[in-house]
Chain A
Amino acid sequence: MWTVSATLTPALLLSIYNFGLRSLILTLISIISCVICEVICQKIMGRKVSVGDGSAVLTGLLMAFVIPPGVPYYLPVIGAFAAIFIAKELMGGIGYNVWNPALVGRAFLQAAFPVAITTAWLPPEQLSKAPITVFLSPSSVDAISTATPLGVLKQFGMSALTQQFGSLDSIYYNFFLGFKPGCIGETSGLLILLGGLFLIFRGIITWHIPVATIGSAAFMAWLIGGPTIGSGNPIVHVLSGGLMLGAFYMCTDYVTSPTLKSAQIVFGAGVGILTVLIRVKGGYPEGVCYAILLMNCLTPALDDWFQPKRFAPPKAAPVAASK
């Protein structure tokens, strides 16, 4: 858990560069509220306090990474309550939760504060030059809000997006490096990819879920992402929104994803397909959060459908005991 959190630090640093100190403060608030919430819950429920395992810290970090940098400071506190109390401790604590706690927190906030969570975007770079008062303001900083690339894409189409960033190459460049409006920690495809590769190299996660997720999302984006069938731009879809972060850090959560590699590929493919369906055909510009939560529901079934291949099982099927 601590390693996973550590690999997210570069993305946080970029976010501070992009969106200013506000993203650091929001992230810290999110982490601290998650940890405090977990301690209180475990004390009340008579469980052993387990914040030392780093799971609450990771939840807080990931939740902050998927909310916009311009939201009021009290928002992550409410999100932490939903993530830790409702999604984790009420479900039975770590290991027994059905949904990814960080995403439940984000979904809760999106339902409860739809305006703040969908409009409080900050344009990168300009903000780091903004007056310090902006960071200290406890309320939403919608005075300088902007739209995410996915919002632009959904409302105005690809040409508008290209116009905004100058050229297609500039889109790829800025998206991959992370200079674009978006949630606190999701903007840089490069940093998330590096962190994810490190986790794969260390054997903490395997390639199956990220590759299946990104691959299927790219395919779906190509298929239905454009005005005609097969004319979408898969790269823009893969690099925008929370897809990279979701594929490497959210879908790969041990507890809420299936165990076997074969089941993981189905799980990842489901996330990728649902994400693009929501983005292109649904009402929201971004669909990663709901796509993962929906596939989390299928995890127990996937675990049941896909069983490991046994070495030298009994020849005849065991005769069912007659009742």
Chain B
Amino acid sequence: MSGFTFPKGGIHPDEHKELSEHLAIEEMAPPDQVVIPLSMHFGAPAKPLVKKKQEVQEGEPIAVVEKALGATIHSSVTGVVKTIESRPHPTMVRCDAIIIDRDPQAAPRIYETEDWRKISREQLLARVKDGGIVGLGGAGFPTHVKLSPPPSAKIDTLILNGAECEPYLTTDHRLMLEYTDQVIEGAKIILKILGIKKCVIGIELNKPDAINALTRALAQDSKKDDFEISAQGMQVKYPQGSEKQLIYSLTKRAVPGGGLPFDVGVIVQNISTTVSVYEACAMNKPLYEKVATFSGRAINRPANLKLKVGTLLQDVVNYLGGTRDLIKIVSGGPMMGFAISALDVPITKTTSGVLFLNSSETDLGEFGPCIHCGWCMQACPMGLAPKEVALYVEADKGHLTTKFGIMDCFECGCCAYVCPAKRPLVQFARLAKIAVKKHG
């Protein structure tokens, strides 16, 4: 299989996937209490529909966004609303959250599967919206919006992002192995909603089992529906799963800076999102459960867990047997994830994994001055000059960095990874963007 890849930059960090890639997805028992933040992702915060002491059912909408861009939030357990108050949040420090005490007697809700082929396009899209589906790859952009491109856009290809190029994370890998049919059916639903035929599933070649599983399932499936779905292996190189890099690798189309994938006729969906779309459309099950990787050498038992949105990290840590020599907790992958300072934050819709890193996996050393080795410029997949941006920011001239294309930076962290002086180049880039925006 040819190594499809992107043209510039990229790095090969240690994968560390061996910690969890062979572990089947395990359903974690629901916690006694869930904390569901009203803001979990891109878009406006949701407004609660429930009151204190009100009884809620598993899967019942408990908060909605009416006018603005956003997504509906559902209760992940059956129980009673304890209160609605400000709670610690993984990215926003604090955020209003609905706290629900689980009813220990309540049986888990069972969903019937129906044939989505009998459901109209509009209804499918409505189910995606009502299911509160958001992009689970990171930013959490509401999926129903992404699946309603403007009429001017001529979409011809759907890309499913199975690259999972971040080290440690194995969520999408396990989903492709264990939920193979759901991934394919989900892809078909999205194709039907978009009214197109072609779908490419891009997978890094370090997951040959996933490529084989999908290829085999697709071969058996090919006669059933009139879609062209294929699984394509891609070179193992970070950031292969970044949207622009992925689109280029698979279609040789380059999304111009400031543009969106549909400018080149493509829509990209994450593997987890696709499974959620399937569950919302074919099972009418909203998004309140999440598969996430819990890994790193500081957690006693790494695992790929299916757990309720709103489960506190503390409960997950207890479930996995605690930690040892814990230095740093990172939500997401080690390249683009962010550090977490406390365990009382909930798992949200967009949590793709939480890493517990020990002293051998972290480097807390101080950074030094730039020596202009230029490695960051070789590593940058966008062809930017991270070292210059950082020097400008240090000299308080961050607003002048547009000439280095700072607004094209998507903070993949390749530059900081290769920097021999351990300079926090991503943070410098963020400061530069803030300075550019402030300056108009």
Contact = CB atoms under 8 A, between A and B. Distances in A.
Given A308-B383, A311-B383, A95 B372 contact: yes
A259 B8 CA distance: 16
Give the contact-size bracket for chain B: 35 or more
A312 B255 contact: yes
B125 interface: no
Contacts of A257: 372
B256 interface: yes
Contact of A313 (B7, B257, B377, B388): B257
Given A95-B368, A260-B374, A314-B259, 16 more contacts: A48-B366, A94-B369, A95-B372, A95-B421, A254-B374, A259-B373, A259-B374, A260-B377, A307-B404, A310-B257, A310-B405, A311-B7, A311-B254, A312-B248, A312-B382, A315-B259
Interface string A302-320: 0100011111111100100
A310 B254 CA distance: 11
A309 B373 CA distance: 17
Interface string B356-394: 000000000010111111100100111111011000000
A308 B372 contact: no
Pairs A-B, 4 closest by C-beta atoms: A314-B257, A259-B374, A95-B369, A312-B254
Nearest to A203: B375
A215 interface: no
A211 B8 CA distance: 24
Contacts of A321: 440
A170 interface: no
A48 B369 CA distance: 11
B258 interface: yes
B257 to A, nearest CB: 4
Contacts of B372: 95, 254-255, 257, 259, 303
A314 B9 CA distance: 18
A201 interface: no
A113 interface: no
A10 interface: no
B6 A311 contact: yes
A42 B248 CA distance: 49
Given A260-B377, A310-B408, A311-B244, A95 B256 contact: no
B402 interface: yes
A93 B369 CA distance: 9
A318 B244 CA distance: 20
Contacts of A309: 8, 383
Contact of B371 (A92, A95, A308, A313): A95
Query: Chain A contact residues: over half helix, strand or loop, or mixed?
Result: loop
Interface residues of A, number: 25
A62 to B, nearest CB: 16
B257 A312 contact: yes
9 contacts: A92-B369, A259-B387, A303-B372, A307-B404, A311-B7, A311-B381, A312-B254, A314-B258, A315-B257
Interface of B: 6-9, 244, 248, 254-259, 366, 368-374, 377, 380-385, 387-388, 402, 404-405, 408, 421, 440
A50 interface: yes
Contacts of A92: 369
A96 interface: yes
Contacts of A254: 371-374
A98 to B, nearest CB: 11
Nearest to B255: A312
Nearest to B263: A315
B377 A308 contact: yes
Nearest to B6: A311
A308 B384 contact: yes
Contacts of B244: 311-312
Contacts of A50: 368
Given A259-B377, A315-B259, A318-B402, A310 B383 contact: yes
B370 A95 contact: yes
Interface in A272-323: 303, 307-315, 318, 321
A315 B254 CA distance: 11
Contacts of A96: 369
A178 B404 CA distance: 46
Nearest to B8: A311
Q: Max chain B CB contacts within 10 Å: which of A95, A309, A311, A313? A: A311
A260 B405 CA distance: 16
B408 A314 contact: yes
Interface in A53-91: 53
Q: Max chain B CB contacts within 10 Å: which of A53, A92, A309, A314? A: A314
B377 to A, nearest CB: 5
Contacts of B402: 318
A48 B259 CA distance: 45
A227 to B, nearest CB: 42
Q: Max chain A CB contacts within 10 Å: which of B371, B380, B404? A: B371
